[in-house]
Chain A
Amino acid sequence: MTADKEKRRAISREAARRRRRVESEVFEDLSRLLPLQQSVRDHLDKPSVIRLTLSYIRMHTLLTGKTGTKAEASHKVKCGQVTDGQMVRHEFNGGCGEEEEKEKYDADASEETNMYLRILEGFLMVLSTEGDMIYLSENVSKYMGLTQAELMGHNIFEFSHPCDHEELRNNLRVTAEEVWSGEKRDFVMRIKSALTHRGRSANLKSATWKVLHCQGRSKVCVAPSSVSCLLLTCQPLPLSHTLLSTQTFTSQHSMDMRFTYCDQRMTLLLGYSTEELLGRSIYDLCHTRDTNCLTKNHFNLCFKSQSVSGRYRMLVRGGGYVWVESHSAVIPNAHSSKSRPGANQPLCILCVTYVLRCVCGLWFKATFTVSTHFIELYLSK
């Protein structure tokens, strides 16, 4: 009896081994077809192979499908220079076998693309409506510390901060009408970054949260299958060493958005003196209709530590307002003592505000004196 059993077990083991071998071979075949470098390919495990295959197919579908958005359709008619057009050209060239020219063309494009990515200082992310990161540009490793092949195909929710999931989900939700108009998205989220301070990839366990500003739009293709996704460029928000123009000023605030410092440009641009502003809240200075925008900015700052405000209006001393946009970050207060490194450093908010347009909204001169009076009245309290 036992011998029989033994034999049967042996047979089944053999069969299993054979199956696995076949399976491995198929996986090998599949991975060989993927556009990856040999070294990368060798270290893919099976689920990764499938993930990457999925990404490849999805991207292909997205790019070669019929155009989804109205804007795209009209643009195609107008100048005939769209994604699809490019693909067509490729096929044509490929058929003729002008390999060299094609390669050079591609090399040029590669150079250009790299330049774009460098200038944008971010990476490209294509997200499905469920949040799968269908595609990531290669430079994602610079920002997240993990390579394209490691990340592609995974779900963004596994890498983003749990508190941002709600917002992410809202942004991914693309309604039928929105999709057709190529709706824009603009939000800030935190993702894991496995980069150390010195820029080296570290353990994912010791990943820190990195704030990314994501902007983009939705894209859809209807044939062969309806696939919609979000195209986003994700950039970290640097504040450092940007040359500021005369139309930009910096300010520092306590965490409740009261001014603690502002530079002289503020006086030139908006007319308030520094003394007038210290201790006043930024909400006092802004047009009421933009309170939503500012509050959202403030929330982002509190939770995510960095934010881009979008356009809002700041009231000018003497009447009227200017359209501005602020890029802000929470930084440790410069004046905190360094002797207590472990202690909680008091934080403050640093804002770089760009003035977009000149003063507008001076409706009638009659209110000029009144508004000055109002400001003074207000400020004197």
Chain B
Amino acid sequence: MSARNAAAGGGDRVGGEPAADVLVEDKQSGSVSLPSPMTPASAAGMSVTMEMPRKRKSSVDNQDTKSASMDMDIEDMDESHNGSDGEDQHVKMKCFREPHSQIEKRRRDKMNNLIDKLSAMIPTCNPMSRKMDKLTVLRMAVQHLKSLKGSSSSFSEANYKPSFLPNDELKHLILKAADGFLFVVGCDRGKIVFVSESVTKILNYSRAELIGQSLFDYIHPKDMGKVKEQLSASELFPRERLIDAKTGLQVQADLPVGAARLCTGARRSFFCRMKINKICVKVEEKEFQASTSKKKESQKYCTVHCTGYMRSWPTTQLGAEGEGEGEGEGEADKQDSSHFSCLVAVGRVHSHSSTQVNGEVRIKPTEFITRYAMDGKFTFVDQRATTILGYLPQELLGTSCYEYFHQDDLPHLADRHRKVLRSKEKIETNCYKFKTKSGSFVTLQSQWFSFVNPWTKEVEYLVSTNTVISCDNSRTCRLGNKAEQSSTSKSSEDGKKSLPVIPGISTTPGAMIYAGSIGTQIANELLDSNRMNSSPSSGSVSPFSLSQDKCPHNQIGNNVPYGEATDMEIAGKSSSEEDAQGATFSGAESLMGENPQMDLDSVVGPGLGSDEAAMAVIMSLLETDTNLGEAVDFEEMHWSL
């Protein structure tokens, strides 16, 4: 940035751009006055003296500076003439720091740049291979403009205001940009008094079809109430709800309701759904219709954001005003009431979602957190899970995670489950597949750790941080899985064998329940181990001893008491699963046996009487399946300290 600009306040200036010393014809800034004798040369100088209330004394100095440089192209002034005086002062100061030649050079470059751009736009200049000099380009520009003026219409220096665009062009551009249409509806019956042509692009109805009809015929039935309210003058909704922008609080209108609602200028803004006309026409229409929101065979709607004003005219004036109001507005309804009030609004099609352009905020979508109870049932699901899994949290809560794991992954995940229940560390799983709502599988990799209540020293829940693995990584994960499986081949095979392959395992409800109970089993093992650990005297009753050395295979024989408990647990489920349960159990057990990481010393449970404990275990087993996953039962179990 140039030093001048830096001085002028840190880059909020147009960089070196010579100003348009245009006097503001603004309606608001009435304070800007225009001294009459103006020549182009002195314009720059004179504009320095344009009065703004906070005028500085240095203007005189600047004037001298200006007049001195009048021979050269003056425009050293910046965009806003109002700021120029201060700036010129800076220029004067800056003369010491920046040679004038630099300023000049910059100005010349800017000018040359503009000339180049101009020559690029002028058709006659374009084909010329060599660069043309400034004067020639300008002359050609003049020619070109003359030719343009000749062909297009309205730039005669006549009565009305000339503008860069013919007004109807502007109108079209606005409607195109806004993707909208203008409409005027009478307030009492919702009669469409006027609608602009662009409505055809949006709703597919022609103007003729719409004018004179009731707006309510074209609005979604559920939105009719809303629109009626916006149009109505009745006392149906007595409370005016306006917001004061400064305080953000609601403001009660001072005026009585009717008047306030209808007073000219009262602003309206609402969304409603409007019908789209389906006509069987040419191929081009299909593209248009495909872009509308609902894709049903029935009536299609698009959401339209309507903003506008209420206007009311006394009916006496309508005859005279009719023509003066411009296209179409004059077609007024003769009302009995003294005023014809209507809503003049622009309806813009509301795009379905905020358009996502590059550079938006990116959240890492590949991770989410879930929490399981000890038996693998979801007790908390991070909201991010929905984007990945397709389920809303409430759909997962209370269900066992095993229902979603792919069957190939069940053994190793069950193994991990066991591990984490007994370990204080974070346990990583390999990649596994998780079933999404749509039925497809997403590859995840998780890190589990168990949260142990420091007071009771019991595992309260498991926290799982799940990362989505993209397809490229899944290969390596697969290998990892295979390696893992081969190392524990015996156990996994046992495990696999002991999980009888039921045809259609992932889809039949029977299989689901079966899978879900894996978690329960694992949890129960832990409970039992806790119980056993705390009361070694009841070793005979327990299904397995918890000494590390002992091989758990002998304990299959002790299945019976547990089998009973298990039977009770699955009372009410199909009996065909009993065997499966048992088999699972043994299989799971064998897995556990292989696992040298039973750090049972870390699992310390408070002491329990054996009978009470047995009862409590049975009760908890009954409860486990029915509750929604809160770890209430385990706490209950241990309350009898």
Q: Do A and B bind each other?
A: yes
How far in angstroms is the closest Cβ of chain A from B640? 27
Interface code A282-298, partner B: CB below 8 Å = 1, 0 otherwise? 01100111011101100
Residue on A with the closest CB to B39?
A42
Q: How far is the CA of A331 from the CA of B247 in the complex (A)?
A: 7
- Does residue B79 face the partner (Cβ distance < 8 Å to A)? yes
Contacts of A135 in B (CB 8 A): 164-165
Contacts of B79 in A (CB 8 A): 146, 150, 154, 204
Stretch at the interface among B9-17, B493-501, B598-606: B9-17
Contacts of B350 in A (CB 8 A): 311, 325, 356
Q: Do the beta carbons of A51 and B282 come within 8 Å of each other?
A: no
Q: How far is the CA of A325 from the CA of B87 in the complex (A)?
A: 45
- Does residue B298 face the partner (Cβ distance < 8 Å to A)? no
- Does residue A205 face the partner (Cβ distance < 8 Å to B)? yes
How far in angstroms is the closest Cβ of chain B from A200? 5
Contacts of B44 in A (CB 8 A): 45
For residues 514 through 552 of chain B, which have their beta carbon under 8 Å from a beta carbon of chain A? Answer: none
- Does residue A279 face the partner (Cβ distance < 8 Å to B)? no
- Does residue B394 face the partner (Cβ distance < 8 Å to A)? yes
Q: Do the beta carbons of A53 and B139 come within 8 Å of each other?
A: no
Q: Which of A29, A308, A374 is B142 in contact with, Cβ under 8 Å?
A: A29
Q: Do the beta carbons of A239 and B354 come within 8 Å of each other?
A: no
**Taking A135-B165, A325-B271, A370-B397 as contacts, is the C-beta distance between A311 and B352 under 8 angstroms?**
yes
For residues 293 through 319 of chain B, which have their beta carbon under 8 Å from a beta carbon of chain A? Answer: 303, 307-309
Q: Do the beta carbons of B73 and A241 come within 8 Å of each other?
A: no
Q: Do the beta carbons of A331 and B110 come within 8 Å of each other?
A: no
- Does residue A9 face the partner (Cβ distance < 8 Å to B)? no
Q: Do the beta carbons of B117 and A54 come within 8 Å of each other?
A: yes
**Taking A48-B19, A334-B248 as contacts, is the C-beta distance between A200 and B29 under 8 angstroms?**
yes
Q: How far is the CA of A75 from the CA of B356 in the complex (A)?
A: 27
Q: Do the beta carbons of A205 and B86 come within 8 Å of each other?
A: yes
Contacts of A255 in B (CB 8 A): none
Stretch at the interface among B155-163, B454-462, B580-588: B155-163
- Does residue A343 face the partner (Cβ distance < 8 Å to B)? no
Q: Do the beta carbons of A46 and B18 come within 8 Å of each other?
A: yes
Q: Do the beta carbons of B18 and A48 come within 8 Å of each other?
A: yes
Contacts of B138 in A (CB 8 A): 23, 26-27, 30
Q: Do the beta carbons of B20 and A44 come within 8 Å of each other?
A: yes
Q: Do the beta carbons of B114 and A50 come within 8 Å of each other?
A: yes
Interface code A183-204, partner B: CB below 8 Å = 1, 0 otherwise? 1111100001011000111111
Q: Do the beta carbons of B246 and A331 come within 8 Å of each other?
A: yes
Contacts of A64 in B (CB 8 A): 152
Contacts of B145 in A (CB 8 A): 30, 33-34, 53, 56-57
Q: Do the beta carbons of A205 and B351 come within 8 Å of each other?
A: no
Contacts of A120 in B (CB 8 A): 174, 178, 307, 346
- Does residue B387 face the partner (Cβ distance < 8 Å to A)? yes
- Does residue B68 face the partner (Cβ distance < 8 Å to A)? no
Q: How far is the CA of A354 from the CA of B269 in the complex (A)?
A: 10
- Does residue B111 face the partner (Cβ distance < 8 Å to A)? yes
How far in angstroms is the closest Cβ of chain A from B483? 35
Q: Do the beta carbons of B229 and A43 come within 8 Å of each other?
A: no
Q: How far is the CA of A149 from the CA of B244 in the complex (A)?
A: 35
Q: Which of A116, A187, A284 is B357 in contact with, Cβ under 8 Å?
A: A187
**Taking A22-B135, A45-B75, A71-B287 as contacts, is the C-beta distance between A90 and B152 under 8 angstroms?**
yes
- Does residue A179 face the partner (Cβ distance < 8 Å to B)? no
Stretch at the interface among B211-219, B260-268, B333-341, B427-435: B260-268
- Does residue B148 face the partner (Cβ distance < 8 Å to A)? yes
- Does residue A257 face the partner (Cβ distance < 8 Å to B)? no
Contacts of B161 in A (CB 8 A): 37, 110
**Taking A231-B176, A287-B386 as contacts, is the C-beta distance between A39 and B34 under 8 angstroms?**
yes
How far in angstroms is the closest Cβ of chain B from A96? 12
Q: Do the beta carbons of B243 and A42 come within 8 Å of each other?
A: no
- Does residue B367 face the partner (Cβ distance < 8 Å to A)? no
**Taking A43-B47, A115-B326 as contacts, is the C-beta distance between A146 and B179 under 8 angstroms?**
no
Q: Do the beta carbons of B285 and A74 come within 8 Å of each other?
A: yes
- Does residue A232 face the partner (Cβ distance < 8 Å to B)? yes
For residues 196 through 231 of chain B, which have their beta carbon under 8 Å from a beta carbon of chain A? Answer: 196-197, 200-201, 206, 222, 225-226, 229-230
Q: How far is the CA of A301 from the CA of B75 in the complex (A)?
A: 39
- Does residue B189 face the partner (Cβ distance < 8 Å to A)? no
- Does residue A170 face the partner (Cβ distance < 8 Å to B)? yes
- Does residue B472 face the partner (Cβ distance < 8 Å to A)? no
- Does residue A240 face the partner (Cβ distance < 8 Å to B)? yes
Q: Do the beta carbons of B353 and A116 come within 8 Å of each other?
A: no
Q: Do the beta carbons of A154 and B201 come within 8 Å of each other?
A: no
Q: Do the beta carbons of B162 and A242 come within 8 Å of each other?
A: no
Contacts of A7 in B (CB 8 A): none
Residue on B with the closest CB to A132?
B117
Q: Do the beta carbons of B242 and A203 come within 8 Å of each other?
A: no
Q: Do the beta carbons of B144 and A374 come within 8 Å of each other?
A: no
- Does residue A171 face the partner (Cβ distance < 8 Å to B)? yes
Q: Which of B22, B163, B327, B354 is A311 in contact with, Cβ under 8 Å?
A: B354
- Does residue A226 face the partner (Cβ distance < 8 Å to B)? no
Q: Which of B52, B121, B247, B351 is A203 in contact with, Cβ under 8 Å?
A: B52
How far in angstroms is the closest Cβ of chain A from B5? 10
Which residue among A94, A116, A248 has the maximum number of chain B CB atoms within 10 Å of its CB?
A: A116
| Besides the known contacts A56-B148, A91-B151, 11 further A-B residue pairs in the complex with CB atoms under 8 A apart | A28-B40, A39-B34, A40-B22, A45-B44, A90-B166, A102-B153, A112-B196, A113-B168, A241-B267, A250-B243, A287-B386
A-B contact pairs, 17 of them (CB 8 A): A39-B34, A50-B117, A56-B145, A71-B288, A83-B172, A109-B171, A154-B17, A194-B80, A200-B29, A201-B82, A216-B177, A242-B243, A243-B267, A288-B383, A309-B354, A356-B271, A373-B394
